[in-house]
Structure 1
């Protein structure tokens, strides 16, 4: 990166105005995208999958993050590890992106063979002085947070993931992620910068006019509103939601389900937020009729109406945990104008499709919502490329969490740029 480019990025970071959207280059500049991949996705904990993605010994999954490719594999000792997907011989890419079942990690170029724990087991024709112990796969830091898998490409990953893991353990334990399986995965390419994807997720200002399916189970008022802007019906709905929230939290906490908000989106390197939110009508699940989509409950839960536990992490994930299924999302940058949104629906590992759940009913709310969000991100990206673009103010009522995302992002850049 040129010194002039560094200065321009520093100037953009320095003059960012709190409470306002980011300036256009943060969404359109290839130079800033390279900084993002270095500073944000190269040095922070990135959500990449779940324990059920690699449930058995020999199950492997490859995830690409910018120029880096990472193998996540469960070893014969049942431990999950991560390695750079680069052969230690001449650097060939070893496994393609996606999932596989393997006995060893074998490079297709010259057949260098690595065990599931990363050690080099076989390298033909290397001579008597060759030491295989010096040529194992390069490890990548990996941490399972109650079954959610995070990796960090840095040799010095943020230590505060331990605090997040400890705080989230009692919230996630009732959903027993390790005893679920992935019922369906959807990969959607959004025509927008990754920050637009995340900002769109961090508010529900847009929900009422754009998400008719999602606003059946979820309350748009749960993410803020301007009291003076509500009509009489709106005030009744807001009051109903507030009362439901208080009653639900009291009941869930009494049942041993931690539910109240924990919010550290902007004050630490590994930013996160969680809260259990009511679901409307039956209160059971994020479905079109608000009732459970799967007959087999997660973790032995007996109360179907436990709402939805929301869990957000900086910089790239959000999740919804219900009594019958889990929906998990990750945003992976492709380039400055495109982002992969990967969604996974998980059910109890013993649930049988067509018997215990209908796949369309399980996925239809978020399949529709993802498509709608992709359209919104696309018009946001189009606007950011327009010469008339000017960063506007966030709503103090409905976009406070967008501001926290932007503040976290700017703070992380400011701390890393020389």
Structure 2
């Protein structure tokens, strides 16, 4: 691993508009730093609320070596705890998803309430104070049904800004009244930053995603006007006109649609509602709704697709009939978990209102195609011939925003007050 001084020099000397040095993608020590400086200090997306629909439902996730337990209480609030018994440190819940009464350690039977209080511990003597041995809490923030956590003692306060900006966009889709229709986990053979970089652009979409580009237009994610022939220039102009027209219509219906871009903030995020192609209804191969039961109070199916990105580990797509959430968690320097969750209205009936294959095909195939690209990227950055290359200013500005955000966060962690953001 490079020394702290060498890492600080790499951070200070990072060339804007270019990919990172190979060390940032390949070094195990840098991954440890990423987990400590990024994943253990910032708000990260953990789960969709419908993954814990009832009191006693819980999910777990691994953030580096740390395991986190999310539990829905009788009051329907979601609370988070370190998934570690306060007796001798045994893992409390091993399953990814389960239902519990109280949280009971199978090792010696110590039991905890939904508030994390220790309520039962045999053979500890009269002087033992149970109140000093409750579960270690984790900060939790539910934003319109998306659950974020922060492992830091003092989490970034600007999540309030993200909540205020995004709730008007998200709440009409009514995640609280959705259910999980399907969930998949895919391990990509690449560094987590390559996974995020790949997601933050559609430069690669036309040649690599034949299914995704049925409902999604490549022009929605940037293009170089001076490189388009007459036909494609007309197509691009028509699409941009459609954005203006549809935004006016959707916003008149109470659906905020215009771009919000705060990717460089500490709790960075971006959102925009875009028209979909064909019938304009959903991320499906026929561009029509995958579920007949529309979300919330929607009566119109052609509401485009609301895309919501957060730094450092998630993206989401909200449509009239379903929602797809994506969570990214590092497993190793060259291994990353991508968890995808498809959500439909809680009253939608499989086989009657929706078919799982129809619902999931586009993103199941796109995820695998992206995993193949990330693998190629990891092979490339591991090659001695690799040198940082330039991002396209037209199609990769969000990739640059992610890379710059990442460098800012490392800089602030290594030398507090010295990052580009701190200097602004």
TM-score of the two chains, using structure 2 as the length reference = 0.97
Give 5+ residue unaligned stretches, structure 2: 416-424
Tell me what 1:109 maps to: 107
1:286-316 CA distance string (max 9 Å, x none): 1001000000000020111100000000000
User: 2: distance between equivalents of 1:79 and 1:219?
Assistant: 38
1:320-369 CA distance string (max 9 Å, x none): 00000001001000011000000000000000100100100000000000
Tell me what 1:179 maps to: 177
Contact 1:65–1:332 (Cα < 8 Å) also in 2? yes
Matches within 5 A, 1:372-411: 372-411=369-408
SS in 1 for 2:390: coil
User: 2: distance between equivalents of 1:233 and 1:353?
Assistant: 42
User: 2: distance between equivalents of 1:62 and 1:289?
Assistant: 35
RMSD (Å) for aligned C-alpha atoms = 0.8
1:229-268 CA distance string (max 9 Å, x none): 11222112101111111100011011111000000001x1
Tell me what 1:143 maps to: 141
Give 5+ residue unaligned stretches, structure 1: none
Matches within 5 A, 1:17-416: 17-266=15-264, 268-416=265-413
May I ask how many residue pairs the two structures share in their alignment?
A: 415
**How many Å apart are 1:45 and its aligned residue?**
0.2
User: 1: distance between equivalents of 2:6 and 2:92?
Assistant: 38
**How many Å apart are 1:19 and its aligned residue?**
0.4
1:11-43 CA distance string (max 9 Å, x none): 110110000011101100111111100000010
User: 2: distance between equivalents of 1:283 and 1:369?
Assistant: 19
SS in 2 for 1:295: coil
User: 2: distance between equivalents of 1:401 and 1:77?
Assistant: 39
User: 2: distance between equivalents of 1:295 and 1:327?
Assistant: 16
Structure 1 stretches of 4+ with a deviation exceeding 3 A read: none
**How many Å apart are 1:97 and its aligned residue?**
3.8
TM-score of the two chains, using structure 1 as the length reference = 0.98
Contact 1:63–1:97 (Cα < 8 Å) also in 2? no
**How many Å apart are 1:77 and its aligned residue?**
2.0
SS in 2 for 1:298: coil
Contact 1:5–1:31 (Cα < 8 Å) also in 2? no
